[in-house]
Amino acid sequence: MRVLLACLTGRPPGAAPLHRQCAAAWGLDDDGAEWVRRALVLTADHELNASGFTARCVASTGASLRAAVIGGLAALSGSRHGGTTARVEALWDGLARDDAPAPSLRRHLEGADGLPGFGHPLYPRGDPRAEALLAPLLRGDPRLRDLVAAAEALTGRRPSIDFALVALRRRLGLERGSAFGLFALGRSIGWIAHALEQRRSGQLIRPRAVYVGPEPAGRPA
């Protein structure tokens, strides 16, 4: 985790708590450090999603914990996983020039990408991780409230953790890409826990595949 943090901050690994190291590298005060800590806790684990399962598969082969984290990072980078934060950033960029968010959101809905960062298949009533991050941010940001309200009115969907991380990144004034960095750092804790548990089980994850296509021509009777 500390090596991954060093990659994120550009500083040598240290012994201080992760959120404190982030705050020092990014020039955040105690309140900012607490926001980072909250984000890391909320993103630490999320059942057997794609990146968590990938980390377990890697660990089941006897590979190192670092290899398991690398596998998790590869899965997280996908546009349907942690890479959604980049799509949310692009969505936000398109709203910056408008006084009211609704017209821009309608244009996005007409495209193939929809509204990234809104809706989660596991949380039809709203992503509780996003709510834990966004609730305090919404109170002090009328523009953010308008954006969330407009998106919910148009889609009936509430913000996901990806949207919340981008909102936090913008509130703290962090560099673009930091939302994904926080997601990766927090989730690495879960990947390592999954990998350690998988190692203790001693089992190799090996799903079976059954061919269901047409039978080859000329097969003997």
State how far the alpha carbon of 176 is from the alpha carbons of 96, 165, 182, 201, in Å.
Answer: 15, 11, 11, 39
Residue scoring higher pLDDT (217 or 28): 28
Residue scoring higher pLDDT (193 or 104): 193
Residues in contact with 60: Cβ distance below 8 Å, sequence separation at least 6, in sequence order: 198, 199, 201, 203, 204, 205
Q: Which two tokens stand for residue 178?
A: 């930091």
CB 11 within 8 Å of CB 25: yes
Neighbour tally for 122: CB within 10 Å: 9
Q: Which of 108, 120, 127, 194 is catalytic?
A: 120
Neighbour tally for 116: CB within 10 Å: 23
pLDDT (0 to 100) of residue 146: 92
Q: What ranges in the chain are assigned the alpha helix state H?
A: 2-9, 18-26, 30-42, 50-60, 65-76, 84-95, 101-110, 128-139, 142-155, 161-172, 178-201
* Residue range 88-142, pLDDT digits in tens: 999 998 886 667 888 888 888 877 677 899 999 999 999 999 999 999 999 989 9
Question: Could you confirm whether 162 is annotated as catalytic?
Answer: yes
pLDDT (0 to 100) of residue 9: 95
Report the phi/psi class of residue 177: left, alpha or beta, with left for phi > 0 and alpha for psi in -120 to 50.
left
Q: Which two tokens stand for residue 97?
A: 């020039």
CB 28 within 8 Å of CB 166: no
Q: Which two tokens stand for residue 27?
A: 């020039």
Tell me the pTM. Answer: 0.92
Question: Could you confirm whether 46 is annotated as catalytic?
Answer: no
Widest CA span in the chain: 76
How far is C-alpha 8 from the geometric centre of its chain's CA atoms?
A: 15
Q: Which of 19, 108, 127, 162 is catalytic?
A: 162
Q: Compute the C-alpha angle 45/121/105, nearest 5°.
A: 110
pLDDT (0 to 100) of residue 96: 62
